Amino acid sequence: MRSERVFLEDDAATATLGARLAGELKPGDLLLLSGNLGAGKTALARAIIRTLTGIPNLDVPSPSFALVQPYEARGTPILHADLYRIRDPGEIEELGLFERADAIVLIEWAERVPGLRNSASIAVALSVPADGQARIAEITR
């Protein structure tokens, strides 16, 4: 495993990182996003999904209430999930995230199911420094 730390000074930097990560993803990959509320998980997922689909203004809402939002990028399914409301790690099976081996799966609040880390292609831990002016992304591949 290798790690990388990226300073994200604004939304544009987050979008740039999302585009870069999207370029690394392939069918069957699992990308985990973790961090506190407001750390930028959905913003980063949105940038990744918009890049993968090639639709820069695609509406990519947080899947907090739906739990899973499906998309498609050039024939590849993309599943964007939010585990914030998951109470038991076993509940993830009911979401159907791993039923398609060709899907790219992005999971927010991945820390709610610790065992996922073993299957991840990329894990991104986002944090906001005390000054609240930027974000830091710790990327592990």
Residue-wise pLDDT for 112-139, tens only, equals 998 899 999 999 999 998 887 789 999 9
Residue with tokens 């592990």: 140
pTM for the predicted model, two decimal places: 0.93
pLDDT reported for residue 131: 82
Q: In what order do the strands lie in the sheet with 76-82?
A: 3-8, 135-140, 122-127, 30-34, 104-108, 76-82, 68-73
92 conformational bin, left if phi > 0, alpha if psi -120 to 50, beta if neither: alpha
How far is the CA of 85 from the CAs of 24, 26, 34, 125, in angstroms? Answer: 29, 27, 14, 19
Distance CA 30, CA 131 (A): 31
pLDDT reported for residue 93: 86
- Please name which of 133, 100, 98 lies closest in space to residue 113, comparing C-alpha atoms: 98
The residue extents of the domains of the chain are 3-140
Distance CA 86, CA 128 (A): 24
The architecture of the domain spanning 3-140 is 3-Layer(aba) Sandwich (3.40)
pLDDT reported for residue 42: 96
Distance CA 43, CA 81 (A): 13
pLDDT reported for residue 65: 80
pLDDT reported for residue 88: 85
Residue-wise pLDDT for 52-97, tens only, equals 999 999 999 988 888 999 999 989 999 999 999 888 888 888 898 9
Helices within 4-133 (DSSP H only):
11-24, 41-53
